[in-house]
C-alpha cells in the first residue's frame, strides 16, 4: 500500500492534510510532521490543512500549530467554521440571526453575525464537550419545531481520538442524529465527509479534484469523503486509525502510510 500511495501522490499538484490524528493528538506532536511540511514546500505542492475540530477558533488553532513546531500559515488552514460562514452568507444573506451552540472560543469565528437565543434563522452546532444534556436538546428541538430554525452542524463525526489513556471518544454526530430524528428535519452538515467541504477546499486551492489527494486518519470521513468528492484518499495509521474499523469499512484507500513521517520520503 505504500507503493500505491507513492504512485498516487506522484500525480498530485496539491494535498489536503488532516491535522488532528495526523500531525498531533491532543497537545503532542506526531514525529515527522515538520519534515513532511518542509518537503511539501520544497516540492512546491499547494496544500490546505483541514480539520473537523470545532473547539478552537482559527486564531487559537494557528497558535497551537506554531507551538507544536508545525510551520503552517493561517491562510493554509481550512475549518468547518470557515466553511459554515461561507454557507450562511450564501443561504441567509448579510444579516441572519443565529443560535451558536459552540465552544466560546469558536464563537469568535462567527462574530459578524447577530445572535438570537429564542427565534433564530439557524442553529449552528459544534462540540461543547461535557455540556450536552437534556435541557440543551429540548431547547434546540423547540427552536426547530416551533420557530422553524434550520440545523447547521459543523460536522457529524462519530468519534474522535483523545490522548492516552482516553482513546476514542463519542463525537457530536450522535447528538445531531438524535435532533434530526426528533424534529424530522435533516441537518446541513458542513465538515468532512461532506462533499461540499472538499469542494470548498479544492476551490480555495484552484485545483481540480483529479490533481488532489487527501491524507487522513479516518477511513470514512477523510478517505471515503475525499473519494466521493473525486479526490484520492490516503490513510495514515495514527490517531483514530484502528485496523478492525478499516477491515469493516467498504472504503478502500488509495494508499496507506504508517505515519505522516513517510510523506517526506515518498515525495
CATH number of the domain encompassing residue 94: 3.40.50.1000
Query: What pLDDT sits at residue 82?
Result: 92
Q: Does residue 165 belong to any structural domain of this protein?
A: yes
Spatial CA neighbour of 55 closest among 163, 155, 196:
155
What average pLDDT score do residues 108-134 get? 95
- In the 3-class helix/strand/coil scheme, how is the chain assigned residue by residue? CHHHHHHHHHCCCEEEEECECCCEECCEECCCHHHHHHHHHHHCCEEEEECCCCCCCHHHHHHHHHHCCCCCCHHHEECHHHHHHHHHHHHHCCCCEEEEECCCCHHHHHCCCEECCCCCCEEEECCCHHHCCHHHHHHHHHHHHCCCCEEEECCCCCEEECCCCCCEEECCHHHHHHHHHHHCCCCEECCCCCHHHHHHHHHHHCCCHHHEEEEECCHHHHHHHHHHCCCEEEEECCCCCCHHHHHHCCCCCCCEECCCHHHHHHC
Q: What's the mean per-residue pLDDT of the chain?
A: 92
Would you place residue 231 in the very low, low, confident or very high pLDDT band (cuts 50, 70, 90)? Answer: very high
Are both 172 and 211 inside the same structural domain? no
Structure confidence at residue 210 (pLDDT):
80
Say yes or no to pLDDT of 197 above 80.
yes
On whether residue 58 sits in a domain, the answer given is no
Please say if the pLDDT value at position 247 is more than 80.
Answer: yes
Task: Based on the fold, state whether residues 251 and 153 are members of the same structural domain.
Answer: no
> Can you give the pLDDT at residue 261?
95
Both 212 and 254 in a single domain? Answer: yes
- Number of separate domains in the chain: 2
Q: Cell digits for 94?
A: 448579510
pLDDT beyond 80 at 22: yes
Residue 62 falls inside a structural domain: no
Asked whether residue 198 is domain-assigned, the answer is: no
pLDDT of 163 reads 66
73 falls within a domain: no
Contact 160, 166 (CB under 8 A): no
Would you say residue 234 lies in a domain? Answer: yes
Check whether residue 184 and residue 116 sit in a common domain.
yes
The β-bridge relationship of strands 150-153 and 114-115 is unpaired
Q: Give the pTM.
A: 0.86
The half-sphere exposure of 249 on its side-chain side, counting CA atoms within 13 A, is: 18
Count of C-beta atoms within a 10 Å radius of residue 44: 8
Quote the CA–CA distance of 223 and 143 in Å, as a whole number: 35
Cell of 158: 462519530
Instruction: Compute the average pLDDT of residues 89-116.
Output: 95
Calculate mean pLDDT across residues 8-13: 81
67 in any annotated domain: no
Determine phi and psi for 244, rounding to 5 degrees: -70, -35
- Cα–Cα distance, 210 to 137 (Å, whole number): 41
Q: Are residues 146 and 221 in the same domain?
A: no
> Is it the case that residue 260 has pLDDT exceeding 70?
yes
Host domain of residue 175: 82-189
46 and 128 in one domain? no
Residue 200 resides in a domain: no
- pLDDT > 90: what percent of the chain? 78
Amino acid at each position: 500500500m505504500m507503493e500505491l500511495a507513492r504512485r498516487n501522490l506522484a500525480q498530485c499538484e496539491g494535498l489536503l492534510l488532516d491535522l488532528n490524528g495526523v500531525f498531533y493528538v491532543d497537545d503532542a506532536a506526531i514525529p515527522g510532521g515538520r519534515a513532511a511540511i518542509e518537503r511539501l514546500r520544497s516540492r512546491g505542492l499547494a496544500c490546505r490543512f483541514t480539520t473537523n475540530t470545532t473547539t478552537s477558533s482559527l486564531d487559537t488553532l494557528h497558535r497551537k500549530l506554531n507551538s507544536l513546531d508545525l510551520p503552517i500559515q493561517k491562510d493554509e488552514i481550512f475549518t468547518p467554521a470557515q466553511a459554515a460562514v461561507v454557507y450562511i452568507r450564501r443561504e441567509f444573506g448579510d444579516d441572519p440571526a443565529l443560535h451558536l451552540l459552540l465552544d466560546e472560543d469558536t464563537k469568535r469565528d462567527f462574530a459578524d453575525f447577530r445572535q438570537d437565543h429564542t427565534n433564530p434563522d439557524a442553529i449552528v452546532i459544534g462540540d461543547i464537550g461535557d455540556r450536552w444534556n437534556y435541557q440543551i436538546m429540548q431547547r434546540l428541538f423547540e427552536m426547530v419545531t416551533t420557530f422553524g430554525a434550520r440545523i447547521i452542524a459543523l460536522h457529524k463525526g462519530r468519534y474522535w481520538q483523545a490522548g492516552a489513556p482516553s482513546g476514542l471518544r463519542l463525537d457530536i454526530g450522535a447528538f445531531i442524529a438524535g435532533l434530526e430524528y426528533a424534529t424530522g428535519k435533516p441537518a446541513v452538515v458542513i465538515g468532512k465527509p461532506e462533499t461540499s467541504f472538499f469542494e470548498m477546499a479544492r476551490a480555495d486551492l484552484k485545483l481540480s479534484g483529479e490533481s488532489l489527494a487527501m491524507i487522513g486518519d479516518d477511513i470514512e470521513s477523510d478517505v471515503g469523503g475525499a473519494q466521493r468528492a473525486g479526490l484520492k484518499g490516503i490513510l495514515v495509521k495514527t490517531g483514530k486509525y484502528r485496523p478492525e474499523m478499516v477491515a469493516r469499512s467498504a472504503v478502500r484507500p488509495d494508499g496507506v502510510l504508517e505515519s505522516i513521517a513517510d510523506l517526506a520520503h515518498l515525495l
